[in-house]
Amino acid sequence: MQSLKEARQTMAEILLRDASQERISEPERTRAAFDAGYIWLLTALDEPRGGEHPNQALLHAAVSRLNVPHRTIAPALEYLSQLYKPSGAEPMLAEMLKWAARMKALARSV
């Protein structure tokens, strides 16, 4: 049986793979990249439960708990600020892919 950490790593990898699939719509790919980064962040924080998803307080907690600059979470906060607007989020696929990669590296470094 996989540990929670292993299960999260597996899920994050699946989401990153989905985010790179060009046959999937850009909004869905962007969300998959965001979710992958978020799951990697949960892994880095060693959070026992994910709680509400997405949780902006958790993103902010990462800054102090992991001792990383605020700019580390800024792309995710920007994405979330646009996500539920009636017009939808601006295209942010490239930014979310970069953010997910940074969160993966962060999770592997702690």
State the residue for tokens 């992991």: 66
Rounded Cα distance between 43 and 107, Å, is 6
Q: What is the pLDDT of residue 50?
A: 61
Rounded Cα distance between 44 and 5, Å, is 9
Q: What is the pLDDT of residue 88?
A: 65
The 10s digit of each residue's pLDDT in 48-72 is 776 677 888 888 988 899 999 999 9
pTM: 0.90
